Structure 1
Amino acid sequence: MRQRPTRPLRQLGAVWPWALLLCAAAQAQNANPQQGEQIANNGLPPSVASCASCHGSKGQGMAAFPPLAGQGASYLRSQLDAFADGARGNPIMAPIAKGLTPQQRADVATYFASLPSGIAASPGQADAKDKGAWLVERGRMQDGIPACSSCHGPGGAGVGAHFPAIAKLSASYMQEQIDAWKKGSRPPGPLGLMEGIAKKLSSDDVNAIAQYYAGASGAAKP
């Protein structure tokens, strides 16, 4: 007969998620954006390249490399941690993230979060003739696909600390990320949402959404 956990153990189980949140909050409070700026612009030679070499001098993104400026610090830190521990694979980012200490990853994340994103929260129009616009603004609830804007905000400008801005991401980058969620090779994100949503999207859906956001008018050009 299985014994029920004792009261102290049950209490511990209820408390530990809050303890993790407090630890993350403490790390964010102790982050040093000035140190993060140094790493972002200069790297840590010889093993860690500068973030600016791929993501731009102000984190504005370049070509297939996504913008980092103005993204939530906790989101950026979680992605760096995922690259470092192998939960998210990328041949460029993995060695860079592994070359940084947890404190340095927090510093870099806080620095980029402090920069202006240049993305305006400009709602789009749902057009039934435009699959990308319709999925972004309305979703397809009969298939369990919510509107992208319900989490990522009007114009793909992002919402809060955990739902990043996705306007002006290159179409190829966005397609790669959605494919990674489909394959389970990228962490599912807040509340485990993205993996489940990605698996419900067809290739045509993914292409339409990616093309829509690549040309989103809510984003200011770098």
Structure 2
Amino acid sequence: MIARTFALLTLTITAAHAEVAKIDPAKAKQTAEQVCAACHTADGNSVNPMYPKLAGQHQEYITKQLHNFKAANGKPAERNNPIMLGMATPLTEEDIKGLAAYFSQQKLKPDTAKNMKTVTVGQKLWRAGDASRGLPACGGCHGPSGLGIPGQYPRLQGQLSGYVETQLKSFRLGERANDPNGMMRAVASHLTDTEIQAVADYVAGLR
């Protein structure tokens, strides 16, 4: 029994190493430079609020989003985005894992907060939420400094404020619906446009 267990453990470890070995850093870098750079820049530090910064983002989160952009088994993509559908569809599992690893290892060049008048509002919502409306603190999931939790919640620290604002509004409208258990849709439904702008700007300035 012990020998069998050991053999199974060995096979599992070997398979895990084989999975890691499939990632080709040189190929991932080439794909990032030739395919992703036009929108996200080669090192994932987008300056256009239409496209998120990917540098320093959790590998697991990037992997999930790339999968969500792809249509699979006759079903539409979980995350509706015509541009990313076209970009993600040709990617193999190896490509996805390679790109996720590549961008997660890049150094983030963070955005900055631009509207000091709303910092107090954004800070309050980030740190404490609003219990009277059933609104949890953003930092409760994404962390006090916006670093997130790998495998659970994305890093938002220094993300482009315009991108965060757009995503929160998309969650509120239900246009983006790839959040587990509708968590972000529920949160965003409590936020006004002014509050969304305040939180997005606060996020951009988090360090």
Q: TM-score range by the shorter chain?
A: 0.7 to 0.9
- What residue identity is the alignment partner of 1:95? G
TM-score scaled by structure 2?
A: 0.75
Shift, 1:76, TM fit: 0.3
- 8 A contact 1:182–1:199 mirrored in 2: yes
TM-score scaled by structure 1?
A: 0.70
Aligned-partner Cα distance in 2 for 1:56–1:151: 28
Unaligned runs of 5+ in 1: 1-22, 43-49, 120-127
Shift, 1:132, TM fit: 1.0
Aligned-partner Cα distance in 2 for 1:29–1:72: 19
Matched, 1:189 2:182: no
Shift, 1:92, TM fit: 2.0
Aligned-partner Cα distance in 2 for 1:24–1:205: 44
**Segments of 4+ in structure 1 off by > 6 A?**
23-26
- What residue identity is the alignment partner of 1:102? E
Aligned-partner Cα distance in 1 for 2:200–2:163: 8
Cα deviation 1:165-196 (Å, max 9, x = unaligned): 22333332112111221222323434542121
Cα deviation 1:58-105 (Å, max 9, x = unaligned): 112222121111211111011111111221122321210112123212
Matched residue, 2:101: 110
CA RMSD of aligned residues (A): 2.8
Cα deviation 1:101-142 (Å, max 9, x = unaligned): 2321222112112223356xxxxxxxx982111001111122
Aligned-partner Cα distance in 1 for 2:25–2:182: 29
Sequence identity of aligned pairs in percent?
A: 32
Q: Which deviates more from structure 2 when the two are superposed, residues 82-91 or residues 152-161?
A: 152-161
Matched residue, 1:47: none
Number of positions where the alignment pairs a residue of Structure 1 with one of Structure 2: 181
- What residue identity is the alignment partner of 1:99? P
Residue 154 of structure 1 aligns to a residue whose secondary structure is coil
- 8 A contact 2:61–2:150 mirrored in 1: no
- 8 A contact 2:109–2:158 mirrored in 1: no
Which among 156, 166, 170 is matched to residue 176 of structure 1? 166
Which among 130, 142, 148 is matched to residue 140 of structure 1? 130
